[in-house]
Amino acid sequence: NGSVYNLPKYEFVFGTISYLARIRPSVKDIPSYWSTDLNLGFAYGIKRNFNKNWGIAALGGISFSKAKIDSLSTSPSIDKSIEKISLSPTLNILCNYKKFFIGIGAGFDWINLDDEESKKWVYNKKIFYAIGIGMNLFSSSTSDTPKATNSP
């Protein structure tokens, strides 16, 4: 005898997202760059459920991160290293198991150009690709609710 769950086929989800690693493609004469800078954001979108535990989501989000500005990321090159807070709009495709999500994303960083070093940062408003993880905080389902049976 199996358990029957009312499972929505699609639902809206909202949660936190963080990027484990980002790759920034080469810009001008600066080579591509891997980044693991601290970041945290929020994402919202739609999730397609395959069964009680598994699904896939398309999410748009916004995150805040720390951008390192140094001789390897500026043109012309600067002599010192500074850190700035960046605002990063993103698009993500994530697979989920229960409330945990993992997948890929793309976005770009905006930093405040309040000093000469920041103006030389070649990755400002340039695309990055990322590996992301997330946690579902809230979800709301549609009325399209097929029944999923979990048999022993």
Q: Are 95 and 103 contacting, i.e. CB atoms less than 8 angstroms apart?
A: yes
What are the pLDDT tens digits along the chain (152 aa)? 445 556 679 999 999 999 999 999 999 888 898 888 888 999 999 999 999 899 999 999 999 999 999 999 999 999 999 999 999 999 999 999 998 999 999 999 999 888 888 899 999 999 999 999 998 877 766 444 444 444 44
| 100-108 vs 110-111, strand pairing mode | unpaired
- Which position has the token pair 């309040």? 114
Residue 22 has a CB neighbour count (10 Å cut-off) of: 23
Q: Count H helices and E strands in the chain, helices first.
A: 1, 10
CA dist list (Å): 143 to 10, 47, 140, 146: 9, 14, 10, 9
Q: What is the pTM of this model?
A: 0.81
